[in-house]
Amino acid sequence: MRHTHAHTRNRRSHHALAAIQLSICKDCGKSHLRHTTCQNCGKYKGVQVIDVAARALKKENRAKVKAKSLGIDPEKAKIASAEKK
């Protein structure tokens, strides 16, 4: 059965996108999504949840292993990725 324009538009009135709600971290001052940890300092409600330094080290080691498996010098890959940013 065919729907009228009004019926279709009434149904679609709930399809609007909501704006992202951002909060400011009390410790470092960066913005982050509400009810999530701050990706910059790793804190949630003032409590350290993520060890950011260890996470960065783990990411760097993963990049070195990947570069080595591709046959690329890890130091050159590191320099290239820094230039890319």
Residue 83: what pLDDT?
66
Q: What is the pLDDT of residue 1?
A: 80
Q: What is the pLDDT of residue 68?
A: 86
Ranges of the chain with pLDDT below 50: none
Q: Could you give the 3-state DSSP secondary structure of residue 71?
A: coil
pLDDT of residue 63: 87
